Chain A
Amino acid sequence: MIYVIPHQKFKTAVCCALLRQPLNKETATANAVISQILGQGCAKYPATTQLESVLENLYGAIFDCQIVKKGEQQIIQFYFEGLEQLFLQGCELINEIMCNPLIVNNGFSPVYTSNGLFQTSSGITGRINNKGEYSRLRCIERMCENELFGIYADGYLEDLRRLNPNNLLAHYNSVLQTASLDVFCICDTHSETEIRQYFDSNLSDLSKTVNDKFIPPASVVYSEQDYKIYSENFDSTQGKICMGFRCNANPASDDFFSLLLFNELFGGAGASKLFTRIREQESLCYYINSVYYRMKSIILVQSGVAHENFDKVAELTNQVAHDIYDGRFTREEFESAKAGLIKRFISLQDYHSALLEFYTTQYMLGDMNTPDDVLRRISALTPEDARRVPMYLDTVFTLK
């Protein structure tokens, strides 16, 4: 699928190709290493500094190849952003990188491979360097132990050993056959038809790979029970807490709008109830926020608090969630939340990243609503909508 998002204001254009597969513990690490290998060069630009020099001469165009986890999918993402007039050169570059990698003796280049293995292992061992992010990852891992969402998309150390240039290339060739490949462009000077034609006549390798195979949506697990607590010890000054809520929701239905509203009231905005209650009233933390993972129908709350306050913050957070669910919020809070959501969806058009995020999610969920449709639905929300989707606190993860 090739999808073009037109714009009339940016000075840069984007071409973003997504190779999407269902998350799978067996192949997650190989995919992660492959993204690191491909990002280093290709048959056309084999020398180690060549690709970077090409980008420099394209006025500092940005190219990267990385793993993205979205719902229960593992995505190898190829991203190019450069000045508008360089858009087609960006598409060509992605074509080269994705379809014509540097091959030596039926395998990826040994140099690229050893670099890729090291980068992947360094990323995995380096998770603990960021305590907040580490806590988020561990909370997801424990909470979704038996679901695909619990798999690390950036790989596992123990799986690196069995990877080599040859089996990695063989795996990549099968990925190109089986994965869904979608290309999203944000561009002003070329229409969707022109871009499609250009791909067909000039980028035949990429063009023939483009396909939108069905990937099943993420599982929604919902069976209310008392929350589980996991903790780990580090020698940290501040404790980190991550709390996972499960929502009984279908992400492509009206549940989406209800959860947007719920989360905006909860901890999704600057003046949300969690911020007011736990920071402003209790002075327990500096930051606390909640993020709604639409593709997986969960909400994660994160904060940094003193070790002795873990229980208090978990209880208060759970209490705030219940308060909203029971309708204990003011008309003013409701109107502010709605205004915040409206602003967010109008503002999409000012940011490449927000546009990409919106359109790729809609596409993956088969949701045909445009930003205008979404805005209409948000405008029609009532306070009752915040209480429509049942949810419960499933997991609390703390790091000392």
Chain B
Amino acid sequence: MEKIYSEILEETLFINRLSSGVVCYIIPKARYVEKQAMLTVKYGAADRSPLPINGAIVDLPSGIAHFLEHKLFEDTEKSLFDQFSALGANVNAFTTFNQTSYYFNCIDNFEENLKLLTRFCQNPYFTDENVEKEKGIIAQEINMYDDTPQWRVYQNLNVAMYGKEHPLAESIAGSVDSIYGITKDMLYACYNTYYTPANMALICVGELDPYYVSELAERYLIPRESYIPQISFSESYGIHERYISHKMPLATSIFELGFVERERNDPGFLMAIGKILPDIIAGDSSELHAFMFHETLIDSTFGIDYISGSFYGQSIFAGYSRSPRAVSNLIINEIERLRKDGINPRRFESIRRKHLGRLVRASNYLDQICNSQAELFTRNMNFVQYVNAFQNLTLADAQRRLNEHFIDPALSVIEPI
């Protein structure tokens, strides 16, 4: 078992590759009463390669990974929610473009809960009837997202950035139409292809003995052969549309201005610099932010982020605004100015310091550690490497990335009806 210490976080990470192929990450947290375990699979909404079903190669409807996540909570005997509840645990799951994660949170019965989590994740039980029944529930979930402006504006941004045919341009949950085409056989095909030990990690956080947890994981996670198809879609680095708009019942327009990631190597570096640069450009302490705020161009909903997965990345500036185009132009001009005048070294340090402090703060919370390690697993990284990436950044990196990354902007806007 590998043991890595982070001086900044004052946390130790234990990593063990189990004989089944599952990577097990354990982060002991002294004096915490809760314990959390997450089983994560490198399989998400963007994995849509056609698969063989009953002798034919079949295209899979959008939303199938998310549907599978819902249906894995099906048991022959009784509701899994009730079984976890009887063990004093909460259980839940989520699907992203790259991963599907299942987790529980408990105080007692850690072993029993882990046994239950690993059991249901390794024993799918799909019937025509239980698949049909889920469609009404997921249709309501999709309708909920459709009414959420933040989801719509982001999905449209992806259409503008990558084009309609790209897996990122589809909603993670699919559409009401697409999910009605999902069958039991498709779910089994996806499960058997992707839910293999070589594609999974188990992350455990809490006051736990890493050797004991590792032993449990070894016992409960069963080896299985696998062939995992590579994601096959053409990568395109250009923007498809510069501007995309839509209407919804809103008080003011909502917008997302995005810049597409063109690099693939060194994900730790890309994520760390990705978090810092938008903050330098338009973060809370920037002159630009103060100006836009005072001109009533942005309000407290304005936010910035760098979102990434194993095959994509994007810097995003977002919020409600009476004039998204004006905000967009101001941000683009500010990037241009920083290219010319250079980034103030003191400001670079100060923002880096802020992000390091926020990482320390996040390590107060078991769920944040768990989520972050699960996401990093899809990039073949651990959180100590992630924290170190922030420390290794230089001003020259930041200056270079201004030129290389912030090139083609795409603006997605949803206007009030």
Contacts and interface: CB of A to CB of B under 8 A. Distances in A.
A118 B296 contact: yes
The interface size bin for chain B is: 35 or more
Given A83-B360, A270-B90, A352-B364, A343 B140 contact: no
A372 interface: no
B140 A336 contact: no
Interface string B272-302: 0000000000011111011001101001110
A347 B33 contact: yes
A29 to B, nearest CB: 17
A81 interface: yes
B86 A304 contact: no
B417 A235 contact: yes
B85 to A, nearest CB: 4
Nearest to A279: B137
A33 interface: no
A56 B33 CA distance: 31
Given A57-B350, A57-B353, A236-B147, A115 B364 contact: no
B137 A286 contact: yes
B250 interface: yes
B361 A12 contact: yes
Interface centre among B90, B146, B357 (most CB of A within 10 A): B357
B294 A48 contact: yes
B31 interface: yes
A293 interface: no
Given A56-B353, A60-B357, A129-B251, A12 B364 contact: yes
A9 B30 contact: yes
Interface stretch (A18-26, A119-127, A172-180, A208-216): A119-127
B249 A128 contact: yes
A333 to B, nearest CB: 9
A350 B85 contact: no
B140 A306 contact: yes
Nearest to B247: A235
A129 B353 contact: no
A304 B107 contact: no
A343 B30 CA distance: 18
Contact of B284 (A12, A52, A349): A52
A202 interface: no
Contacts of B361: 11-12, 60, 62, 81, 83
11 contacts: A49-B284, A122-B252, A122-B300, A129-B149, A283-B137, A284-B136, A286-B137, A336-B85, A340-B85, A350-B32, A350-B34
Interface of B: 10, 29-34, 79, 81-82, 84-86, 88, 90-92, 106-107, 133-138, 140-141, 143-144, 146-149, 248-252, 254, 283-287, 289-290, 293-294, 296, 299-301, 320, 350-351, 353-358, 360-361, 363-366, 417
